[in-house]
Structure 1
């Protein structure tokens, strides 16, 4: 009977994590149902309903009866920045004739509801978080592949994405699919190297990681590639030591690892022989990606490519213009940065810079300070690996960190759903029950697990 109850609890925790995934990483599946299956092409209402469904799935049976303590410093900094954005929107708006009050307030409402529900979600979701993320990202990747295969207007060489609404052929949001693939890679690697993972599940996670890397290459998003390289560097720095290398090499000569390696090599050889075109496509994407980025470097250096002057691509050129605008502000209008130019005054495509330019010094301190704290906890977590969820969030933040300087706006839900998840779980690992930790604390932490609603844990 106790095993059956535990099984039901596991299913309930999985429901909660699916709700979280819909909010943090739901756009690939939303675009699939909206555009590929033609349920509601170009409908923002469909997107809002799908996100609302994710919020409903996140409601635990103990809602309002058990609260869990987030990182309070990060919590108040995040809430402070969001409230400042709302205040600026109504009092100090930088867009003449601004008419999107209702839409933006809906976005802010979703963020606040998401953060509130996270505080109600039990810490035990840590047990099922990584497997659910692996399955969720895998399904999203398969939906993308199906969409590409059934889209007659998509051609090899275009970025892997789902065409939105009545957009041009190949248009869409590849960053959403790149984020999904990045999350899948991180989750699969964590589950693969975790000692408690069984052989079959480790093998499946390994192949799923390779699939995610392939999707990441097809999306051709620089921010995700850079974030993956950064995450790999941190992983190698904190987890690879000479003694570990020797231990790993000795472990490779045991029966199970040898069988795994042989099966993996044979599987890859068979795959590439059977689907050589897939290998050629990936190779072409990698070469094209390198050539485009090298041309940006040549353009910055004023060099020529094949006898003609190298030019920046559209996104790099936009950030170049943003940097020029910001430098002009520093030189001639420095006083404007005290209060900023107003809510959404200018889209700089560099969120951390826009937080200062549009929201002033206070907005920059709140938004920048929050991210500095998350970065601090991320590095600490990478070093200690306290539990799978926190380790996943630490490496996932590498993508958020890169995007702080490359794309988006500081008030977008694409930023704040991951940030809210990190506010809830980062820096409070000592409050989790010991059985959730891969490295149990020396003190009994169960006393911090749950309290009635008159207190927060």
Structure 2
């Protein structure tokens, strides 16, 4: 009977986590159903309904009866910043042509509802969170693959995305798919390296992780690739010791590893000789990605990229951020007093959220927005070092993507920022409040300095 009750509870927790995934990472699946399956092409109402469905799925049976403590300083700073944005929208508008009051208020309502529901969500979702994320990101990735294979306008070399609306030029939002891939890589790596993971689920995690990595490469989003590099560097710094590296190097120069490496190398060569098109695709994506980024470097340095007659130029996104930086420097030189209150709500799209929070919402907006992110960053680094539980560890690595996008993409009031930040407000920095059985800390083992005493008996 107890086993049946636990099974039903597990299914209920999985329902809640699925709702969270739809809200935080639902766009890839929404675009798949909306555009690829043609259920509602170009419909924002369909997107809003799908996100609302995710919120409904999150509602626990204990709603209003049991609340859980979030990170209180982060909660109040987040609420204050969002209320400040709403106040600016109605009182201090920076864009005189702005008319999307209803649309933006719906976004803010979704954020506040999500925050409230998270405070009602039980801590026990921690034990099913990572498996649900792996399955959700895998299905989303497979949906993208199906969309690319059935899209006659997409060709090898283009960024992997689902075409939105009736456009035939491959337009879409690759950042949504790169975020999904990034989440998949982090979740799969955590579960594949977890000693308790079942062998079948470990193989599924490895397969899903490889697919997510391939999708990340195909989307060609620099922010996600940089975020993954930062996440890997932090993992190596905190969890790979010099002694482990030396031991691994010594272990390589043994007969079995040498033979395995040799056979693997021969197998890869044979595979690429048999399927040369795969090598050409991978080489093409890597070279195109490197060329595009080197072009931006050449342009920033004022160098020539292709001979004396051709001067390198920035791509659209890099050029926009360069213009934003120039605008901000001009404000600092001649109009610094405007930063006290800011230029007003959505005065200018800078494509650098942390800078836009200061420029449009003034010093108070910058302190609140930067403060929330500063607290998350501090706790994320601590969590990466200690690995207290699967959910907190996942969010800590996931924040590396949010951290990079603070300086590279979006606006400070977008739901793409605030849905993940709301999740971190609920679960980051409060690990000490979780039950012990949700912790990833291994049980103490007998050593020369510490002896485990069963049943509280003295030694």
- 2:360 pairs, out of 358, 367, 371, with 358
Q: 2:385 maps to which residue?
A: 383
CA contact (8 A) 1:214 1:282 kept: no
- 1:314 pairs, out of 316, 319, 324, with 316
Q: 1:447 maps to which residue?
A: none
- 1:346 pairs, out of 335, 345, 348, with 348
CA contact (8 A) 1:138 1:184 kept: yes
CA apart distance, 1:203: 2.5
Q: 1:151 maps to which residue?
A: 151
CA apart distance, 1:433: 0.3
- 1:410 pairs, out of 394, 409, 412, with 412
User: Any idea what the Cα deviations from partners look like across 1:97-148, whole Å, max 9, x if unmatched?
Assistant: 3211100000000000001000011001110111111111111111001000
User: Any idea what the Cα deviations from partners look like across 1:134-185, whole Å, max 9, x if unmatched?
Assistant: 1111111110010000000111111000110123411000000000000000
CA contact (8 A) 2:153 2:168 kept: no
Provide the rounded CA distance (Å) in 2 between the counterparts of 1:25 and 1:83.
Answer: 24
Q: 1:335 maps to which residue?
A: 337
Q: 2:198 maps to which residue?
A: 198
SS of the counterpart of 1:97? coil
Provide the rounded CA distance (Å) in 2 between the counterparts of 1:152 and 1:330.
Answer: 49
Provide the rounded CA distance (Å) in 1 between the counterparts of 2:357 and 2:443.
Answer: 38
Report which stretch shifted further, 138-147 or 238-247: 238-247
CA apart distance, 1:440: 6.9
Q: 2:430 maps to which residue?
A: 428
Report which stretch shifted further, 97-106 or 368-377: 97-106
SS of the counterpart of 1:47? helix
Q: 1:174 maps to which residue?
A: 174
2:211 paired with 1:211 = yes
Provide the rounded CA distance (Å) in 1 between the counterparts of 2:140 and 2:430.
Answer: 31
**Structure 2 unaligned residues grouped into runs of 5+:** 445-459
CA apart distance, 1:250: 8.8
Q: 1:448 maps to which residue?
A: none
**Structure 1 unaligned residues grouped into runs of 5+:** 443-457
Q: 1:450 maps to which residue?
A: none
Q: 1:86 maps to which residue?
A: 86
2:68 paired with 1:68 = yes
CA apart distance, 1:269: 7.2
CA contact (8 A) 1:337 1:360 kept: yes
Two-structure CA RMSD over aligned residues (Å): 2.4
Closer/same/farther in 2, CA of residues 112 and 252 from structure 1, 3 Å limit:
farther
Q: 2:40 maps to which residue?
A: 40
Report which stretch shifted further, 279-288 or 384-393: 279-288
Q: 1:439 maps to which residue?
A: 441
